[in-house]
Amino acid sequence: MAPWKFRGDSDDPVEKRRRELAEQQRRLAEQMSELEAELEAEKNPKPAPPVEPGPPVWRLEEEQSFVRNEEPLPVHKTKRVLRAQRQRDFKLFLLLAIPLALIIIWLVHRLTQAA
C-alpha cells in the first residue's frame, strides 16, 4: 500500500467487503445489547413511585366557599324554567312510549296470528 493512500482508500473489493461486514456485525451487536436491555427492563419493571394521598374529602368541602345567590328567581322565570323542563320531559316520554307501544302492538299481532 502506498504511503499517500489512507487505510480507508483501499481499492481492494475483498477488503472493502470485510470492512462492511465488520461494521454490520458491530451494529448488530449494538442492537442485540439494546434489545437485551429492553427485555431485562420489561422482565424487571421499576416499581411505580408511591402516590401521595390528597387531603380528605371533608377538608376539601370545608375549603370550598359556596357563594349562593340569596335572591330567589322571579316567579315568571321560575315558571318558564319549569314549563321548559316539563316540555322536555313530555317529548322524551313520547319518544320512548310511541316505539314501545308499536312494538307491543306488533308482538300481540304476531302472537294472535300464530295461534
The pTM score is 0.33
pLDDT in tens, 21-55: 999 999 999 999 999 988 888 888 777 888 888 77
HSE-up of 89 (CA within 13 Å, CB side)? 6
- Interval 62-110: pLDDT, tens: 666 666 677 777 777 788 888 899 999 999 999 999 999 999 999 999 9
Rounded to whole angstroms, the Cα distance separating 96 from 108 reads: 19
Alpha carbon distance 38, 40 (integer Å): 5
